[in-house]
Homo-oligomer: A and B are copies of this chain.
Amino acid sequence: MSSIKEVAKRAGVSTATVSRFFNTPEQLRESTQEKVKQAIEQTGYSVNALARNFRRGKTNLIIVVLPALGVPYFASVMRGIESVAKAKGYSIMIKDTQFNTVPFNQVSDMFFSRQADGIILLGSISPYQDVVSRNGHTNSLPPLVVSCENASPDLAGLPSVRIDGIKAAFDATNYLISLGHRKIAFISGSLSQAVSGEREAGYSKAMKQAKLAIHEDLITDGHLTIEDGRRITRRLLNQPSRPTALLCANDEMALGAMHEIKLAGLSVPGDISVIGFDDIRYAEISDPPLTTIAQPGEEIGEKSMYKLCNIIDGQAIDNKTDVVEHQLIIRSSTAPAVL
């Protein structure tokens, strides 16, 4: 592969001029530009990004860490990230943590070894080691933004973009209560994940405010998956006193829950109302269509990427949390309780 030297020689100019052709063409006389252009075409030259990045000390790559690929909700956030990244000249690297099995320092090391310029966390990653004082040194934190509300407590205080998870779960629970439900179960992922913790807090708040007993079998352990939604629901249905409504920590769990309820010969929402979280595209066409809390995924992605760019560019870092609006989408999986 040809290098800048060859092009320079062929065009009868210096390598500096060829470099200028790519970076500050306006500085070159038009006739020079033409010469260089032809030499480039003749040689089929492409700038060696490796050398350029090395020289500039920048990769134009960011890492997005997420619990799992193929989750529709994360895909919408990714779309937002991507559109801004493209505009700003960044490419995206993906790290799938397989539901949180990758330690954070493995990711931050990619920053410290200059493989990426910044990091966006979609969902928690743990253990989140204190990279501020990495190896006992005062290395600076990598440019980092936490997206979505599922951040573990040690990630608090970092720049982030998310909905108000507590308020969202509170709203969802209140809607169920307003329909006359009293026995409301909360199907959560592992409570050790902050997303579930937050949503649980909102649920509890609403229940307490309405002076309702919090269902004892609330505490569940699992991932935010269809499979775990089904497993937990089966257990719930086998209890002597069955709930009349289910608040699920995400739509996948809700879809799994509805499936099990129907399998047990019960009806949604006739016997049990179900409400989810995220408004993934399958929610609208499920049977019955799922009532859920929608999150503005693309907006979250866009804002996160803007924030990250600001940090990378060394602008004023705001460690604030940008709160974006959630919305209760009422469909047909919820109905008044039959008493």
Additional A-B contact list (8), CB under 8 Å, known A44-B139, A49-B114, A70-B78 = A46-B112, A61-B93, A69-B69, A79-B96, A94-B94, A256-B285, A282-B282, A287-B287
Q: Are A255 and B70 in contact (CB under 8 A)?
A: no
Select the stretch in A129-137, A175-183, A202-210 that faces chain B: A129-137
A240-276 CB mask vs B (1 if < 8 Å, else 0) is 0000000000000001101100100000000000000
- What's the least CB distance linking A53 to chain B, in Å? 5
Q: Are B49 and A115 in contact (CB under 8 A)?
A: yes
Check A76 for interface membership: any CB of B closer than 8 A. Answer: yes
Residue with the greatest number of chain B CB neighbours at <10 A, chosen from A50, A72, A113: A50
Interface residue ranges of A80-103 to B (CB < 8 Å): 82, 91-96
Check A41 for interface membership: any CB of B closer than 8 A. Answer: yes
Q: How far is the CA of A255 from the CA of B282 in the complex (A)?
A: 8
**Across the two chains, which residue of chain B brings its CB closest to A133?**
B44
Q: How far is the CA of A134 from the CA of B43 in the complex (A)?
A: 11
**Across the two chains, which residue of chain B brings its CB closest to A43?**
B137
Interface residue ranges of A25-52 to B (CB < 8 Å): 41, 43-44, 46-51
- What's the least CB distance linking A158 to chain B, in Å? 21
Nearest 6 A/B pairs, CB to CB: A70-B75, A44-B137, A259-B285, A287-B287, A54-B54, A69-B75
Q: Are A82 and B96 in contact (CB under 8 A)?
A: yes
Interface residue ranges of A279-297 to B (CB < 8 Å): 281-282, 285-287
Q: Are A114 and B69 in contact (CB under 8 A)?
A: no
**Across the two chains, which residue of chain B brings its CB closest to A285?**
B259
Please tell me how many copies of the chain the complex holds: 2
Check A153 for interface membership: any CB of B closer than 8 A. Answer: no
A126-165 CB mask vs B (1 if < 8 Å, else 0) is 0000000011110100000000000000000000000000
A96-128 CB mask vs B (1 if < 8 Å, else 0) is 100000000000011011110000000000000
Given the interface pairs A50-B53, A70-B70, A285-B256, the reply to whether A44 lies near B136 with Cβ below 8 Å is yes
Check A71 for interface membership: any CB of B closer than 8 A. Answer: yes
Check A190 for interface membership: any CB of B closer than 8 A. Answer: no
Of B44, B109, B114, B226, which is within 8 A of A285 by CB? Answer: B226
Contacts of A213 in B (CB 8 A): none
**Across the two chains, which residue of chain B brings its CB closest to A71?**
B70
A207-250 CB mask vs B (1 if < 8 Å, else 0) is 00000000000000000001000100000000000000000000
Contacts of A287 in B (CB 8 A): 259, 262, 286-287
Q: Are A70 and B76 in contact (CB under 8 A)?
A: yes
Q: Are A94 and B96 in contact (CB under 8 A)?
A: no
Q: How far is the CA of A27 from the CA of B210 in the complex (A)?
A: 70
Q: How far is the CA of A75 from the CA of B49 in the complex (A)?
A: 29
Check A13 for interface membership: any CB of B closer than 8 A. Answer: no
Q: Are A59 and B68 in contact (CB under 8 A)?
A: no
Of B41, B93, B226, B285, which is within 8 A of A91 by CB? Answer: B93
Check A186 for interface membership: any CB of B closer than 8 A. Answer: no
